[in-house]
């Protein structure tokens, strides 16, 4: 009788499994995610012209961009002497950096778990805790480093002399809310790891959660595929625009910092959603410039298919693209589901998944920025010294529109997938 029993082999296999996702692998995952995010942020900020920031401000701005990418809070402060006052604020998530980090973190987290069907809850929690502990240290370092102060030029010699006379030469700086940014950054990591487990068919789950994978995983995969498809289409369009119309550096800044911000906004607009916004002063939205044209009005403007089409009739193609993408996502959802799932169930899954996806886009896609300088309490000095930009969704209207879209496309996608061989199907004629 062999002295090495099956239980010994299983125990040895478990030890090797733990070794494959120890502290070294966690460090590689965190450093890889940070490096990927930093590269995208550096290139994007360089393309946006931030490489010539004074007083060594580029590195802190890169750190602030990484903090903002994971949902951290930036606090702007101004100073213009005893006789003047400045007000400033900025809320934006550079989703190109966010998406890059999420993909790298997800890949690093899932790689040691591949080729397994089941994993214990304690094992998954321990592996996630290692990644989270190192990410916590990285977040604290980033938030402490992301702070700087800049001098703001007054624009011409007369204003500069006035500023010197009154001691009102403006300065603006930024810091991070360290506790809040660290907390939100940890929540971001938890969300990335959970979504990674939900999306990957090959990732193991604890035995108690296996019953949910047939209903959740296909829908999660379909939504991630939908969002990534939007980004790929937007990337192709942006590269074509850069090649045909020029403005290559500006285009690459948009690609590397805010491409998902634009294409996911377009996805919701194609569904019929409305966003409210305004552009005033030196601020402006990135390409396409039709966004800036619609929002640069004295009052709060509506951004939707109707208002955009008044500036450019080609906007109606967003509706066509949305139809194609949603039908494709619904088909993927049905094709990855067991054969016993009925068409109406696919429709419900698609509706819930799309509503949650639109809800997420609306939360992440908000942006606002403002800056103003007043002297002796007399208003904003205007011109290049004051401005406002904001864009926010009509949240529940957008989520409500996603539900019927999901029901219809989910049902049609299920019908289209009927002829695709899926898990759980058996041949009508058994073996002879």
- Residue whose tokens read 């419900």: 348
Packing angle of the helix pair 95-110, 121-145 (nearest 10 deg): 150
Output Rg (C-alpha) for the chain, integer angstroms.
25
**pLDDT at residue 16 in the model:** 45
DSSP structure string for 250-312: HHHHHHHHHHHHHHHHHHHHHTT--EEEEEETT----S-HHHHHHH-SSS-EEESHHHHHHH-
Neighbours of 55 (CB within 10 A): 10
Q: Of the candidates 181, 69, 368, 406, which has an alpha carbon nearest to the alpha carbon of residue 271? A: 406
170, 373 contact by CB (below 8 A): yes
Please give the angle made by the CA atoms of 236, 239 and 244, to the nearest 5 degrees: 125
**pLDDT at residue 102 in the model:** 97
Q: Of the candidates 336, 346, 322, which has an alpha carbon nearest to the alpha carbon of residue 401? A: 322
**pLDDT at residue 294 in the model:** 87
**pLDDT at residue 214 in the model:** 81
Q: Read off the pTM.
A: 0.87
Kindly give the confidence (pLDDT) of every residue in the chain, 432 residues in length, as a single tens digit, with 9 standing for 90 and above. 444 444 444 444 444 444 467 899 999 999 999 999 999 999 999 998 888 877 778 899 999 999 999 999 888 766 555 445 556 677 889 999 999 999 999 999 998 887 666 778 888 899 999 999 999 999 999 999 999 887 665 555 544 444 444 444 566 778 888 999 999 999 999 999 999 998 988 788 777 777 777 889 999 999 999 999 999 999 999 999 888 887 788 889 999 999 999 999 999 999 999 999 988 876 666 667 788 888 888 788 899 999 999 888 889 999 999 999 999 999 999 999 988 889 999 999 999 999 999 999 999 999 887 766 554 444 444 444 567 788 999 999 999 999 999 999 999 999 999 887 666 554 433 433
**pLDDT at residue 323 in the model:** 97
**pLDDT at residue 8 in the model:** 44
**pLDDT at residue 203 in the model:** 81
119, 205 contact by CB (below 8 A): yes
**pLDDT at residue 190 in the model:** 96
């Amino acid at each position: 009788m062999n002295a090495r029993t099956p239980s010994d082999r299983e125990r040895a296999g478990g030890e090797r499994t733990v070794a494959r996702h120890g502290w070294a692998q966690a460090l590689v995952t965190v450093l890889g995610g940070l490096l990927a995010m930093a590269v995208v942020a550096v290139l994007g900020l360089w393309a946006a012209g931030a490489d010539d920031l004074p007083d060594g401000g580029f590195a802190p701005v890169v750190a602030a961009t990484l903090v903002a990418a994971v949902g951290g809070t930036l606090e702007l402060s101004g100073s213009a002497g005893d006789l003047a006052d400045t007000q400033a604020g900025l809320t934006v998530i550079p989703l190109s950096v966010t998406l890059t980090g999420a993909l790298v973190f997800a890949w690093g987290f899932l790689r040691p778990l591949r080729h397994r069907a089941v994993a214990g809850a304690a094992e998954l929690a321990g592996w996630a805790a290692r990644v989270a502990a190192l990410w916590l240290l990285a977040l604290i370092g980033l938030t402490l480093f992301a702070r700087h102060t800049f001098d703001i030029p007054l624009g011409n010699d007369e204003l500069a002399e006035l500023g010197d006379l009154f001691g009102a030469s403006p300065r603006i700086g930024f810091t991070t809310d360290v506790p809040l940014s660290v907390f939100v950054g940890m929540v971001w990591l938890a969300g990335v790891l959970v979504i990674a487990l939900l999306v990957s068919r090959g990732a193991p789950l604890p035995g108690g959660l296996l019953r949910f994978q047939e209903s959740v995983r296909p829908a999660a995969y379909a939504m991630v595929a939908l969002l990534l498809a939007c980004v790929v289409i937007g990337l192709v369009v942006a590269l074509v625009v850069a090649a045909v119309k020029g403005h290559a550096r500006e285009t690459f800044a948009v690609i590397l910092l805010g491409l998902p911000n634009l294409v996911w906004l377009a996805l919701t607009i194609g569904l019929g959603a409305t966003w409210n916004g305004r552009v005033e002063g030196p601020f402006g939205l990135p390409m396409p410039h039709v966004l800036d044209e619609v929002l640069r009005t004295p009052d709060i403007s509506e951004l939707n298919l109707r208002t955009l089409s008044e500036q450019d009739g080609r906007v109606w193609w967003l509706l066509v693209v949305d139809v194609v993408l949603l039908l494709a996502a619904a088909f993927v959802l049905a094709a990855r589901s067991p054969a016993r799932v009925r068409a109406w169930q696919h429709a419900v899954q698609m509706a819930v998944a799309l509503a949650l996806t639109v809800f997420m886009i609306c939360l992440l896609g908000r942006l606002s920025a403002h800056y103003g300088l007043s002297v002796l309490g007399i208003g904003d000095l205007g011109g290049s010294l004051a401005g406002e930009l904001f864009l926010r969704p009509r949240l529940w209207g957008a989520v409500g529109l996603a539900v019927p879209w999901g029901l219809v496309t989910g049902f049609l996608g299920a019908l289209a997938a009927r002829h695709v061989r899926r898990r759980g199907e058996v041949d009508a004629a058994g073996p002879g």
